[in-house]
């Protein structure tokens, strides 16, 4: 499948490499191609392009840009290039203006996922993977043999099913469907706990399992 | 030990009954004693009193009042009656002004626990148990045989240790020390995810386990 990954950080790199490994036709979109030259030398199946070219290429697009810059990046990608497509939003509304630990620039009454959906009304936004570190997103079995949960939120049922299929291809076996996109308020706010668990354990290679 | 429980809802009732079952001398504090008469008829070891009398009685006091009313309730309890004592804060800053699901009236840059600590500078505030429903607080083994985590946040190490001992008496075996009281920002914000998991599963008899 033609995949577009917006972003040039660790998350974008991890998603792009894994998607290529799974046989997809992947373009990674960045404002600064030079930043990715070194990485690309060991990931030659992934092409580097602009945000707009990446959105145009992808049948499914990932928002792996910094949360604080996501709306601007998606505007640069071009709403018209994302029309009718699935946008998998893995970003978080983290506010690092006061350093670590971050706070959130939207909390409780709205979410970054909903802001993105409002900015792209003809795109099917699916929120997922934002509760784990980049490595676990694409190799979930590296924590507790995969015995932990990823959450998913979306308004479009078919788009959600397609993303669930992709999560399974990544290795996820416990996929918790929280409901519509407003439930992303929960997973985004959870980051405030995640950063504290990270702070205590000094590793991001952790996740939660829902016990009943 | 002399225990005071502030509040008259399900959480206050569950804590009071369990503390009495464990042999403690428990007073439950309320603005409206009539509300608790029926409950007390099957919990006769627990005495009913005012907020101030309850704070005076307790060597350890629980804030199990509604989060939106906690600062006012603690003012009524009397800072002077809480001086030098441990206050176990199990409340959450839930804002139900727009119905269910709630948002938070403080998120990310502060927490209700810190607001309470600032209002009671001579009291040792310990935040815990706020991430689970009342029944699980005091009978954790009723979910997955206790194979899940409770979090604890406090500035005072000795106070934290005393509360950890009490959590063990309740049946908790996995107690995750997040650090100082600012880490309550994480557990309070987690409620936004908790209410969505609750909404999906239609039960509050769930909790998270940290997997690594």
Chain B residue with CA closest to A190: the answer is B190
**DSSP conformation letters of B80-124:** HHHTTSEEEE----EE-TT-SSPEESS-SS--HHHHHHHH-TTSE
Cα distances (Å, whole numbers) of residue B23 to A77, A158, B17: 65, 56, 10
- What are A103's strand-pairing partners? A95
CB A182 within 8 A of CB B188: no
B22-34 pLDDT tens trace: 999 999 999 999 9
Chain B contact set for A206 (CB, 8 A): 210-212
**Which of A13, A125, A132 lies closest to A71, judged by CA?**
A125
Average pLDDT for A168-177: 98
Handedness of CA A46, A49, A54, A58 (dihedral sign): negative
Q: What is the mean pLDDT of chain B?
A: 98
With cut-offs at 50, 70 and 90, classify the pLDDT of residue B7.
very high
Shortest CB distance from A207 goes to which of B144, B186, B211? B211
B30-61 pLDDT tens trace: 999 999 999 999 999 999 999 999 999 999 99
Q: Is the peptide bond before A62 cis (omega within 30 degrees of 0)?
A: no
Chain B contact set for A185 (CB, 8 A): 103, 192, 196
Average pLDDT for A35-49: 95
Burial of A208 (0-12, 13-18, 19+ CB in 10 A): buried
Q: Do A208 and B203 touch (CB under 8 A)?
A: no
CA distance A197 to chain B (A): 6
> For position B126, what pLDDT does the model report?
99
Provide the token pair at B103. Answer: 């948002």
Count residue pairs from A and B with Cβ separation < 8 A: 125
Q: Do B179 and A200 touch (CB under 8 A)?
A: yes
What is the DSSP secondary structure assignment for residue B141, as one 8-state letter? G
A161-170 pLDDT tens trace: 999 999 999 9
B76-131 pLDDT tens trace: 999 999 999 999 999 999 999 999 999 999 999 999 999 999 999 999 999 999 99
CA distance A127 to chain B (A): 14
A180-201 pLDDT tens trace: 999 999 999 999 999 999 999 9
> For position A208, what pLDDT does the model report?
98
> For position B170, what pLDDT does the model report?
98
A111-164 pLDDT tens trace: 999 999 999 999 999 999 999 999 999 999 999 999 999 999 999 999 999 999
**Which of B164, B208, B204, B207 lies closest to A206, judged by CA?**
B208
User: Model's pTM, two decimal places?
Assistant: 0.98
CB A169 within 8 A of CB B182: no
CB A54 within 8 A of CB A94: no
Q: Do B190 and A189 touch (CB under 8 A)?
A: yes
User: What number of H helices and E strands is found in chain B?
Assistant: 9, 11
Q: Do B208 and A211 touch (CB under 8 A)?
A: yes
> For position A193, what pLDDT does the model report?
98
Q: Do A206 and B197 touch (CB under 8 A)?
A: no
Shortest CB distance from A107 goes to which of B107, B187, B205? B107
The strand order across the sheet containing B47-49 reads: B47-49, B25-29, B2-6, B60-63, B86-89, B124-128, B150-154, B175-179
> For position B16, what pLDDT does the model report?
98
CB A99 within 8 A of CB A51: no
Average pLDDT for A24-53: 96
Interface residues of B toward A, Cβ cutoff 8 Å, are 95, 98, 103-104, 107-109, 143-144, 147-148, 151, 176-179, 183, 185-187, 189-190, 192-197, 199-201, 203, 205-212
């Amino acid at each position: 499948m033609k995949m577009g990954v917006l972003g040039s950080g660790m998350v974008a790199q991890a998603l792009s490499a894994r998607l290529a490994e799974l046989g997809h036709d992947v373009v990674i979109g960045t404002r600064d191609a030079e930043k990715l030259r070194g990485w690309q030398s060991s990931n030659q199946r992934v092409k580097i392009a602009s945000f707009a070219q990446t959105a145009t290429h992808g049948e499914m697009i990932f928002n792996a840009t910094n949360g604080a810059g996501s709306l601007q990046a998606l505007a640069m990608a071009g709403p018209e290039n994302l029309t009718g497509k699935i946008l998998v939003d893995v970003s978080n509304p983290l506010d690092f203006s006061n350093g670590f630990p971050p706070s959130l620039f939207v909390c409780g009454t709205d979410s970054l996922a909903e802001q993105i959906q409002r900015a792209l009304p003809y795109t099917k936004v699916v929120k997922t993977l934002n509760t784990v570190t980049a490595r676990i997103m694409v190799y979930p079995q590296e924590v507790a043999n995969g015995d932990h949960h990823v959450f998913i939120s979306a308004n479009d049922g078919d788009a959600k099913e397609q993303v669930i299929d992709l999560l399974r291809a990544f290795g996820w076996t416990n996929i918790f469907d929280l409901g519509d996109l407003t439930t992303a308020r929960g997973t985004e706010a959870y980051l405030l706990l995640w950063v504290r668990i990270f702070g205590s354990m000094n590793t991001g290679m952790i996740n939660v399992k829902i016990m009943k």
